Amino acid sequence: MNSKKNSKNSNKTGTEAIQKLSPLSIAILSTGLSFIASPVSLTWASNLDEFQASKVNSKALNALSQDPGIKSLLNDSATHRLGVSQRIAGSGSITTKFRHFYKGIEVMGSMAYYRQNQDGTNAEVDNRIALFDLNTNPSVDMDAAVAIARSVTPGAQNRKFTRMPELKVLPDSEGNSARLVYILNLSPIGFDGGREVMLNAHTGEIIANNSLAESIAPVEVHSARNTGLTLTPVFDKTQLDADGNPAITGCYLSNLGDPAPAPAAPGAPAPTPLSMDQCNASFSQACQVFLGGDTGDSTSPVMVTPQNCLLSVQDSKALAAADDAANRANANSQLVLNYYQNTFGRNSYDNQGATLVSVVHVGQSMVNAFWMVGQTDPDTNQVIGNFMSYGDGDASEGIGDMTLAIDVAGHEMTHGVTSQTAKLSMSGDPGALNEANSDFFGKMIENQNNWILGQQLYLDPANAPGFRRLDNPSLIIDKDIADDNGNQVSVAYPNQYSDLYAVKSGQCTDDNDHCWIHHNSTIYSHGLYLISQAISKEKAQQIQYLALTQYWNDQTSFKTATQLTYSACQRLQSQGTVTQSDCDAVNTAFTQIGLPPTAAAASAKPTHVAHR
């Protein structure tokens, strides 16, 4: 899929607007401890000038140097270092995030945080650094890792690596052990999205194979109705690609809806296919491209390029080409933008006013809607992705146009917010939390007294169970589950942690929905429902947003999530936004789902800092 990133630089508004600052200089770190400049640019709140930002950074560094656990760790400078990864302001708080490096290798989800209220009060150091011992010499070399990643990635022969493979450390959230892993990112192919493959650098075992398609500022809507190309690949069995499969040497192209090229009559010469260069030149100009032949799918395209589709809404205003679906997509986008701006002061999904792009009428009777996470094409330096896609639904399945459900649109666009903040992984616990967070904010954006996701998509109101429900998840049976032997089973969505549907192998792949992230999401989202009932939706959304943006990280687990969300409530209580009674209700709600935050959090209590 090709898409140029649409963004507009504008004056930042709201307390959470952030802007880029050059990487932190080693020279300003006067603590004498082993802090390093982060590979990620530091950000600071736009309502602080550079002198104020530097002053607060010094406070953060000094505070970390006073924390006994961190000081002891950093005294072993050959093993442990910290680097500033992000600084973000919002919800009355400012948080500086420090990433942990073990023997020079980034440790996923291992972080220290310095938080304070925006007036400088209630400063604390939150030490979430993982402790372990690990051999950091990989047994699997990089070439072998690349080959393994290609072998498990659909369409690998047509993908490029979007950045160099990285060695990272993946700590065990339940103990004091860790694994050395390779992270390999491959470019998107249509709605499969970019792929992130994680494999054990000592054994070569696949740990996760995730799609980065997660199934906001001016609004732009394009229409793909009845337009596109069908590409039928031509294979040469005498040539093999890097994966050992017959190489694609050319293609036949036909307009959407036209019959596929007929096979040549016996004895007659076969029609001459286009060369790969001709194929690429043709479909790069198409709105959407479908794959023909035996492996094709006439429902979902393999590539969509929004700028090649019919422009229907520009700068939030409907053009003559806009139909009902385009107008609904426009309205959905504006609702999402207004919700995040008015509720949290957030300016679009990236908080920098990016244009929110949508494409309607994608595919043919496609029962799907999703947010495409952006990745940079290494050849063109263009961002591929960062847009919302809507299918038309399928009347034969009783599902209407995907633009009909505001909560589904809010869910998908919230993935864009998450990708810019907590950056939750899309597998295992973090993936389930990612989906739960999107379900919750989708319902907040819809703003109806209805906790069933996607109910408006059903054509028969009397038979509209929805996809998931937050109020009582177990009332919906998930029929898309498989056991460890691959047998289809029907399992009720879980209301609590004890009902988590686990994958015994620990390998998170497409076949098991990346360790059943959609199924298990209702554990946490049900907790958020209970909180909303106990203290109001208005307070619950403030607590959850602060947790997402300033407490969670890419490897946050279920158990850690409830601890951190309770801590976010305590932070808001110190500002007077909520009461201690509200935070007690948060504790009670999470205890009801089997994840009591306060008992487990006692051993990881943040250290409060007194500034003179």
Same domain, 196 and 222: no
* Domain final residue, candidates 76, 103, 130: 130
Q: Which of 174-188, 266-280, 498-512 has the lowest mean pLDDT?
A: 266-280
DSSP one-letter code for 431: H
pLDDT of 605 over the 60 cut = no
| Cβ count near 549 (within 10 Å) | 25
* Domain final residue, candidates 211, 238, 271: 211
In a domain, 300, yes or no: yes
Average pLDDT (397-407) is: 94
Same domain, 295 and 197: no
Reduced to 3 states (helix: H, G, I; strand: E, B; else coil), residue 527 is helix
Structural domain that includes position 309: 216-228+286-420
124-128 and 452-453 beta bridge pairing: unpaired
pLDDT value at residue 244: 72
Dihedral sign (CA 402, 406, 407, 411): positive
The span from the CA of 575 to the CA of 525, in Å, is 25
Indicate the average pLDDT of the chain.
Answer: 82
List, in order, residues 6 or more apart from 564 with CB less than 8 Å away. 547, 551, 552, 556
* Domain final residue, candidates 110, 130, 150: 130
| Confidence category of residue 259, pLDDT binned at 50, 70, 90 | low
- CB hemisphere CA count around 591 (13 angstroms): 10
Same domain, 346 and 316: yes
In a domain, 195, yes or no: yes
In a domain, 433, yes or no: no
Cα→Cα distances 217→8, 376, 386, Å: 8, 22, 14
pLDDT of 28 over the 50 cut = no
Q: How many domains in the chain?
A: 3
> Which pTM value belongs to this model?
0.78
- Residue where the block lists tokens 């007077």: 576
Average pLDDT (586-612) is: 72
Quickly list DSSP for 81-113.
EEEEEEEEEETTEEEEEEEEEETTEEEEEEEEE
Average pLDDT (495-521) is: 93
- Position 371, amino acid: W
DSSP one-letter code for 595: -
Q: Identify the CA nearest to 527 among candidates 432, 610, 462.
A: 432
Same domain, 357 and 401: yes
pLDDT value at residue 295: 63
Same domain, 303 and 413: yes
| pLDDT tens track for 33-91 | 344 433 322 222 333 334 344 444 677 878 888 888 888 887 887 888 888 887 888 88
pLDDT of 116 over the 80 cut = yes
607-608 and 124-128 beta bridge pairing: antiparallel
Same domain, 169 and 117: no
